[in-house]
Structure 1
Amino acid sequence: MTHRLRRAGAFAAVATLVLAAPALGPAAAAPFAAVAVLAAFVIEDGPVFELFARPGDHEDRRLNGLAGFTLAAAALGILTVDYPQAPPLPGTVFAAAVLTLAYGNLGREFVRDVTTDEFAVVAGFVTVGTVAGTLGQAFVAAAASEFAVAALPKYTFLAAVGSLIAALLRSILFGRDDPLVMVSVGFILWLFAALTGTVPARLVAVGLGLAVALGWVSYALDAASVPGMLTGVLLAAVSVVLGGYGWFAVLISFFSVGALATKYRYEEKEARGVAEENDGARGTGNVLGNASVALFTVVGYAVAVHLLDPGIPLADVAPTLLAFAFAGSVAAAMADTLSSEFGGLYDDPRLVTTFERVEPGTDGAVTWQGELAGLVGSALVGGIAALSMPLGDPILALAVVTGGGVIGMTVDSLLGATVEGSRLTNQTVNFLATLAGALAGSALAIPLA
């Protein structure tokens, strides 16, 4: 057993103190605060120090990693107190945030003892973190006399989302940033807990199954890096549970068709200098640039459905407009991807702002073949959305979503010709283009809402 595995097991044991929160009530943070004091000021050497020590702790003769981890847990514990000014952090969310990270790290190190395959290591983190987070929430609920079997799917969903977020953040941050990861997971799960009531077990099972299948296929086909795969899985899972199967169908159409378009005649595009980097494997920045607006809109849809007071102006039409915004953003991402991937294969592209001929791969350059491919891609998303999402009349919905996608694609080209590279990155341009598609889709849908 490696030192990293023993240390991860020790951190997981400390994290298990969160299960005492229901019994401690307002003092839920006390055990973690006590451990933080011991780690920072008392334990300077000996077997306990060696067990918990991370690189750099020996030089300071202080268990900085353990102190930071337990201080973050204590901070979340303080939020579980029921103050008059604000609603408390649910004890189940407190348990999920602490346990998914700690036991996820343990699962990662356990797998790493066997293989260095990056996908397997991440799968170990997410699997063990999800199981621990689910069981921890159930235990805390039972200890507080609030457990119900019908809540298990919700606990599983929250634990899976927490594990995916933690794994994603751990893949782009350092080990010493675990306190930031824990607090971030806690606040995000707090929001999701408020947005989800009783979740059908079948919806969670199918949603997580489809999301995991999407992640495995995208990684196996080199369509996404591990962080990109985690991002895609997270987006897919959230879309299914907060929106529904139709929302997932729209999202998966972009991921699958976009990945195939990227791989299509890749060597030829690489020779022309217009191919996606990293052999076409999309990373977190690329996935978020194209799909973060979709994530915000599906969360907004859940807020509108579950949290908005019906007496608020536009509360009755907000869900429909947000659904059109979701579809419009995905249509824009699809249109932009297909126009770039297919248009880059043809000669004589023209700059969208002046129509002068430019070299292939020039930002803001378009070809009629690429524009046609983008239109078809936008219409494909529009058709799927019209048939599977709550958008009203299918024909009108198809036209609105397609129009939103084309507008987003055009905005992408205009930004590429004017500010991309000098002022904005490609990921930022993608985000603004999908935002334009979302705004256009919802604006065009106002007469239909």
Structure 2
Amino acid sequence: MVAALAALAPTLGDAAAVPFFAVAGAAFFGVRDGELFETLALPGDREEERLYGLVSFALAGAGLALFASLPRAFGRVPLPYEAFAAATLAVAAGRLGRTLLSRETSDEFTLVAGYVAAGTAAALAGQVAVRLQTGAPVDGATVPLLTFLAAAAALTAALVRSLVFSRDAHITSVLVAFATWGFLALEPTVGAPLIAVGLAVTGALGYVSFAIGTASVAGMLTGVVSALLAVVLGGVGWFLTLMSFYAIGGLASKYRFDEKAERGVAQENEGARGTGNVLANSAVALAAVVGYAAAPHLALPAAPLGFLFAGATATAMADTLSSEIGGLFDGPRLVTTLRRVEPGTDGAITWQGELAGLVGALLVGALAAVGAPLFDPVVSGGVAAGGAVVAAGVAGMTVDSLLGALIEGDRVGNQAVNFLATLAGGAVAVALWAVV
């Protein structure tokens, strides 16, 4: 009910923050015990006898309302009302959906799905309400975009929620509001078939990754958000290229897992990749996707961003296969000296792992460069462009091994090394683009 106030922001105008401040004041000073307090109290509120969770959420709403409404008096439009309503309602309705389902089941995927479904529906309704008040169109051309924004807001909210405490809904709503604003500013072209297929496929793949144990809940949500952005902001080719890494890389982590665990080279957390691991391998590619969507607005060439994306993804694929397959073989050698070392040593390589990495880079290069007639390729230039991506993937894989041997340890972790390697692979691909 508090979040629904955000949908009234266009009508309330400069006073849009007033109801949120009123709720915060009433919750802080007026509700200290009784049935209403017990209903609204979050973990920790009962010990302190204050509804700090609700108060914080209401104050976050007030701050976003001020940021969305007051600058309009000076002819500026910072935070769009649609982003404000979508974020606030996605967080609140998502929590409601999860809470209702928790009475029936404790299955984490079901609870997350309830959060996302309720959050998406409420965020979509909030955006429609805002547009009806402002006179903006709500038709077949705009509803797919609003649906994408709603789904992106709900997925981002679920992801942030998985990383913070349940009392931090205020942090979640602020982060989601600015993320949604960024998606809206990119003005993506979203058709009904694209958003329908994109949501269905990414949701199904997210479930599979969680069900077979290749991703934790947070890792699954990170992958779903990444895949959704890739298909909407980039296109089908971008989506398939990224998903090839998620799918094959995840399966490679589970391949002969017990044997790798005995050798001390298995992926931690039973092979389930978390948010940190997913982002370490995908952050550069995601930045490239967003940059690609923003390029027309900034009068920048889009082509190098495609090579950055493909090179980083090829590196992630090559490095993952090299580690997961190569770790099964004896006789690893340190990449810097080629001396034999124990399995699991940072910077150790095997020829079998290097071959597996090359195959992974070849797959990504083929997907990125060969699109027609089914979909637009990520990089243009045919075989030469694909070869550049493959070379970048192998180069990035080698950089990962070198960094592992030289700097990885107590101060520099594996995730930082993975990020730097994908950045190097992307940079090599861009450099080769200038030649191709």
TM-score > 0.5 by shorter chain: yes
| Matching residue of 1:328 | 311
* Mean Cα deviation higher: 267-276 or 410-419: 267-276
Matched, 1:125 2:80: no
Matched, 1:190 2:142: no
Match of 1:244 among 231, 235, 239: 235
Match of 1:341 among 324, 333, 336: 324
Task: State the SS of the aligned residue for 1:348.
Answer: coil
Separation in structure 2 between the aligned mates of residue 220 and residue 46 of structure 1, nearest angstrom: 41
- Summarize the alignment of residues 48-447 of structure 1 with structure 2, pairs less than 5 Å apart: 48-81=36-69, 82=72, 84=74, 86-149=76-139, 150-305=141-296, 307-308=297-298, 310=299, 315=300, 317=301, 319-388=302-371, 389-447=377-435
* Mean Cα deviation higher: 84-93 or 201-210: 84-93
Task: State the SS of the aligned residue for 1:176.
Answer: coil
* Mean Cα deviation higher: 192-201 or 326-335: 192-201
1:88 CA drift (Å): 2.3
Separation in structure 2 between the aligned mates of residue 86 and residue 254 of structure 1, nearest angstrom: 42
1:151 CA drift (Å): 1.2
1:198 CA drift (Å): 4.4
Question: CA deviation digits over 1:260-301, x for unaligned, max 9?
Answer: 222222222122111112221111111111111111110111
Q: CA RMSD in A?
A: 1.4
Task: State the SS of the aligned residue for 2:167.
Answer: helix
| Matching residue of 1:6 | none
Separation in structure 2 between the aligned mates of residue 355 and residue 433 of structure 1, nearest angstrom: 20
Question: CA deviation digits over 1:342-364, x for unaligned, max 9?
Answer: 11111111111111110011010
Question: CA deviation digits over 1:158-180, x for unaligned, max 9?
Answer: 11111111111111210111111
Separation in structure 1 between the aligned mates of residue 47 and residue 201 of structure 2, nearest angstrom: 47
Q: TM-score scaled by structure 1?
A: 0.92
Separation in structure 2 between the aligned mates of residue 110 and residue 78 of structure 1, nearest angstrom: 32
1:50/1:189 Cα in 2 relative to 1: closer, same or farther (>3 Å)?
same
Question: CA deviation digits over 1:369-395, x for unaligned, max 9?
Answer: 111111111111001000132422211
1:197 CA drift (Å): 4.2
Separation in structure 1 between the aligned mates of residue 418 and residue 236 of structure 2, nearest angstrom: 25
Separation in structure 1 between the aligned mates of residue 121 and residue 105 of structure 2, nearest angstrom: 21
* Mean Cα deviation higher: 328-337 or 272-281: 272-281
Task: State the SS of the aligned residue for 2:328.
Answer: coil
Letter in 1 for 2:184: A
| Matching residue of 2:13 | 25
Separation in structure 2 between the aligned mates of residue 83 and residue 356 of structure 1, nearest angstrom: 69
1:147 CA drift (Å): 2.9
The answer on whether the counterparts of 1:44 and 1:61 sit within 8 Å (CA) in structure 2 is yes
The answer on whether the counterparts of 1:138 and 1:147 sit within 8 Å (CA) in structure 2 is no
1:63 CA drift (Å): 1.8
Separation in structure 1 between the aligned mates of residue 378 and residue 106 of structure 2, nearest angstrom: 44
Deviation beyond 6 Å, 4+ runs, structure 1: none
Q: TM-score scaled by structure 2?
A: 0.95
1:273/1:192 Cα in 2 relative to 1: closer, same or farther (>3 Å)?
same
Question: CA deviation digits over 1:66-118, x for unaligned, max 9?
Answer: 11000001111111121548532111111001000000000001111110001
Separation in structure 1 between the aligned mates of residue 17 and residue 73 of structure 2, nearest angstrom: 15
The answer on whether the counterparts of 1:196 and 1:242 sit within 8 Å (CA) in structure 2 is no
1:211 CA drift (Å): 0.8
Separation in structure 2 between the aligned mates of residue 385 and residue 185 of structure 1, nearest angstrom: 31
Separation in structure 1 between the aligned mates of residue 284 and residue 94 of structure 2, nearest angstrom: 28
Separation in structure 1 between the aligned mates of residue 243 and residue 73 of structure 2, nearest angstrom: 42
The answer on whether the counterparts of 1:151 and 1:198 sit within 8 Å (CA) in structure 2 is no
Paired positions, count: 428
Matched, 1:45 2:28: no
Task: State the SS of the aligned residue for 2:27.
Answer: helix
1:340/1:59 Cα in 2 relative to 1: closer, same or farther (>3 Å)?
closer
Task: State the SS of the aligned residue for 2:92.
Answer: helix
Letter in 1 for 2:318: A
